[in-house]
Structure 1
Amino acid sequence: MLEILGELLPIAVGVLVSPVPNIGAILIAGSRRGAVKAPAYAVGWFVGVLILTLVLSLVGIGAGGTPIFVHWLNVILGLVLFWLARKEYLNRDRKELPPWMEAVDDLKSYQAGLAGLTLATIANPKSLPLSAAAGVVVAEARLGFTGTIVACAVFAAVGSLGMVLVAVLRFTSAGSAALGRLKEWLAENGPAITIPLFLVLGTLIITNSLEAIRGP
């Protein structure tokens, strides 16, 4: 289990440092009733990442071996990471945020939770390939049903640490000030973090998958 968690950690870091969802958490925490909406957003994000990871990881349970299509899917996911790295590079000077983030003051608590869930699943193209890649790692490990749930939950928890930290900071005056500075830092340095991370993860995922396809 520890070996698998070690493989999942760098992928979880990719989820953790995704700039737009973290900026969304900061904006929500700083909005009206942010002390309530920020935890809801974090829970929605965690649930979304957990669902994505579980769906693909459970595909391989119960079979005699990992299906070959899972390895090919991982190759595709690696290529998607390369594409995202290129997209991040081309858009590195843009500082625009999604439209919904400009109206976070009007969000209700359940809407904040749905926003986190949506960004973790369908609205953020960076989350899907990373969560799916983690699911493939878990599926190949053949951990069984309970072990799969534990591994996916740990992965989702690590990927949600940024949201949890933002929610905690909201309850302190110093933390509230720090959230404003953190928002500016993420907007300025997000691409510098995600571009090399996506390139490294894409290379590792594709290499490992092609080795599994070729066989011993």
Structure 2
Amino acid sequence: MGSVIGDVLPLALGIAISPIPIIAAILMLLSPKAKGTSIGFLLGWVLGIVVAVVLFELLSSVIPASDPDAAKPVAGVIKLLLGLGLLFLAWRQWRSRPRGGAEAALPKWMAAIDTMTTTRGFILGFVLAAVNPKNLLMAVGAGVTIGTAGLEIGEIVVVTLIFVVIAAITVALPVIAYLAASSKMAAPLEALRAWLVQNNATVMAVLLLVIGVVMIGKGIGSF
């Protein structure tokens, strides 16, 4: 089980460090309906991660495995393809980074965050976690790794729980901190938001590059 946790840890960190959901959560915390929308967003974010990783755990568990090594070539091909997909996304992120002191552009949907309800915040969190291509690829990688590792049910639950907690922590911490001390958190959150907006593309490009290379290496090692 320990080796599987080690394999999925970089993927969980890849989701956790993704700047866009963190920026969205901070914008909600700075909005007029901070409490309702941020809690809804956090719940949707956590549920989206759970659904994505568990779905691919179940799908990968049907890969034939008559002996301990039988599933490895299939899982290896999947990991290679996922790694290549992450490298492609890294290349796109790098090309989209602001240059020459230009102001980074945010997705247009973020302009509507001030008017969001709790339900819409929940839906947005779920979509960013389970449908966003970058996070989905990492959830697929984690699901395949866990589902083909031959773990017992209890071990699968523990590894999945660890993955979800780490992947969700960077959205959960600002929400929890703000709800605990809202008057003291506004300025630090605004400073963090500004930094993440300007450096979003660069952070994600480096992150996706590293995880993509790791995934390709694990895919090659499965043969």
Same fold (TM over 0.5): yes
> What amino acid is aligned across from residue 112 of structure 1 in structure 2?
G
Within 5 A, what are the aligned runs for 1:1-216? 1-61=1-61, 63-64=64-65, 65-66=70-71, 68-93=73-98, 95-122=104-131, 124-171=132-179, 172=181, 173-213=183-223
Structure 1 residue 100 displacement after superposition: 2.0
TM-score normalised to the size of structure 2? 0.88
> What amino acid is aligned across from residue 70 of structure 1 in structure 2?
A
> What amino acid is aligned across from residue 204 of structure 1 in structure 2?
V
Structure 1 residue 57 displacement after superposition: 1.5
Structure 1 residue 45 displacement after superposition: 0.7
SS in 1 for 2:201: helix
TM-score normalised to the size of structure 1? 0.90
The 3 A distance-change label for structure 1 pair 16 and 131 is same
How many angstroms apart in 2 are the aligned matches of 1:169 and 1:182?
A: 14
> What amino acid is aligned across from residue 49 of structure 1 in structure 2?
I
Contact 1:11 1:201 in 2 (8 A): yes
How many angstroms apart in 1 are the aligned matches of 2:60 and 2:156?
A: 10
How many angstroms apart in 1 are the aligned matches of 2:14 and 2:54?
A: 18
Identity score, percent: 27
Structure 1 residue 144 displacement after superposition: 3.0
Structure 1 residue 210 displacement after superposition: 2.1
Unaligned runs of 5+ in 1: none
Contact 2:106 2:197 in 1 (8 A): no
Between 191-200 and 17-26, the greater mean CA deviation after superposition? 191-200
SS in 2 for 1:150: helix
SS in 1 for 2:156: helix
Structure 1 residue 67 displacement after superposition: 6.4
Between 46-55 and 57-66, the greater mean CA deviation after superposition? 57-66
Unaligned runs of 5+ in 2: none
How many angstroms apart in 1 are the aligned matches of 2:155 and 2:61?
A: 11
The 3 A distance-change label for structure 1 pair 67 and 10 is closer
Between 1-10 and 26-35, the greater mean CA deviation after superposition? 1-10
How many angstroms apart in 2 are the aligned matches of 1:29 and 1:11?
A: 26
Structure 1 residue 81 displacement after superposition: 0.6
